[in-house]
Amino acid sequence: MKDANLYIDGYSLTVEHIIEAVRGEWKSVRLEAEAKARCESSRAQVSRWLGSDAPVVYGVNTGLGNLKDTALSPEEHLDWNKTIPYPHAVGVGEYLNPVITRTSMLIRANVLSRGYSGVRPQLIERMLEIFNHGIAPAVRELGSTGLSDLGPLAHNAMVVGGLEEAQVFYKGRHMSAQACFQELGMEDVFPLECKEVLSQMNGSTMTQAIAIFACHNMQQLLEIETRIEAILNRDQPIIIDSKERVDMAVQKAFEIILNTVNFENNITCDNPLLFEVEDGYEAVMGCNCSNTQVGYVMDLLNFLIADKANYIMEFINRLDFEEGGRLNAIREAAAARVRLIHSLSLPASADSISTKANQEDHVEFSFGAARKALKALTAYQSLLSYLLAAATKTDAVRKNTSKVLEVFPDLNVNTTGSSANLAASINHYLTGKFDLVSLIVKTDGD
* Residue 191 · residue 122 · CB < 8 Å: no
Split at pLDDT 50, 70, 90, the class of 56 is: confident
Split at pLDDT 50, 70, 90, the class of 62 is: confident
Q: Render pLDDT for 163-187 as a digit per residue (tens, 0 to 9).
A: 999 999 999 999 999 999 999 999 9
The confidence score (pLDDT) of residue 222 equals 98
CA distance 12 to 113: 11
Q: Taking all residues of the chain, what is their mean pLDDT, rounded to a whole number?
A: 92
CA-based radius of gyration for the chain: 24
The confidence score (pLDDT) of residue 262 equals 97
Three-state secondary structure call for residue 5? coil
Please determine, for residue 54, whether its predicted confidence score (pLDDT) is greater than 90.
no
Please enumerate in sequence order all residues whose Cβ is within 8 A of that of 246, keeping only pairs 6 or more positions apart, or say none.
307, 308, 311
What string of H, E and C letters represents the secondary structure of 329-390? HHHHHHHHHHHHHHHHCCCCCCCCCCECCCCECCCCCHHHHHHHHHHHHHHHHHHHHHHHHH
Residue 72 CA to chain centroid, in angstroms?
Answer: 35
The confidence score (pLDDT) of residue 117 equals 95
CA distance 128 to 9: 13
* Residue 32 · residue 7 · CB < 8 Å: yes
Length of the chain: 446
* Residue 413 · residue 115 · CB < 8 Å: no
Q: Render pLDDT for 93-103 as a digit per residue (tens, 0 to 9).
A: 999 999 999 99
Q: What are phi and psi of 276, to 5 degrees?
A: -75, 135
Strands 6-8 and 29-31: parallel
Q: Render pLDDT for 312-325 as a digit per residue (tens, 0 to 9).
A: 999 999 999 999 99
Q: Which helix (H) or strand (E) holds 156?
A: helix 150-161
- Please report the domains of the chain, with CATH numbers, ordered by start residue: 6-205 (1.10.275.10), 206-274+282-433 (1.20.200.10)
- In order, the DSSP letters of 233-248 are TSSS----TTHHHHHH
User: By CB neighbour count within 10 A (0-12 exposed, 13-18 middle, 19+ buried), where does 414 fall?
Assistant: exposed
The confidence score (pLDDT) of residue 359 equals 62
